[in-house]
Amino acid sequence: NQPLVNLRVDFAFKQLFGVQGQEELLISFFNAILHESLSTPIVSLKIEAPHLHKEYEEDKLSILDILATLQDETKVNVEIQLRNTQEIVKRSLYYWSKLYTSQLE
């Protein structure tokens, strides 16, 4: 009788949903939690390398929990948080801006 794995822990969440070869599981997860906001269900995605490239040497290296690209080329950043902190708002905005600007290049 082993205890269940806590998926709110980064490592466990990434190992279940963020590994290439687990795309169907991530698709099911996205469709389950986003079904009300999606016009059509997600049918395919590609799990990407989670590192956001630094523009300048002194920039902070950012590593997302999971980065996926959907069939329509939409980039999705999935972050798992163990605690509710105000830092997540700033960090999410920063990650969004890095993803957005990387698509302009």
Q: What is the H or E stretch that residue 54 is in?
A: none
Q: How confident is the model at residue 27 (pLDDT cuts 50, 70, 90)?
A: very high
Three-state DSSP class for 69?
Answer: strand
* pLDDT, greater one: 8 or 93: 93
Q: Could you tell me if 64 and 95 are in contact, meaning their C-beta atoms sit under 8 angstroms apart?
A: yes
Which residues fall within 8 angstroms of residue 19, CB to CB, at 6 or more apart? 47
- Whole-number pLDDT of residue 25: 93
Does the pLDDT value for residue 39 go beyond 80? Answer: yes
Three-state DSSP class for 85?
Answer: coil
Q: Which two tokens stand for residue 70?
A: 């959907």
Q: What phi, psi does 22 have (nearest 5°)?
A: -110, 20
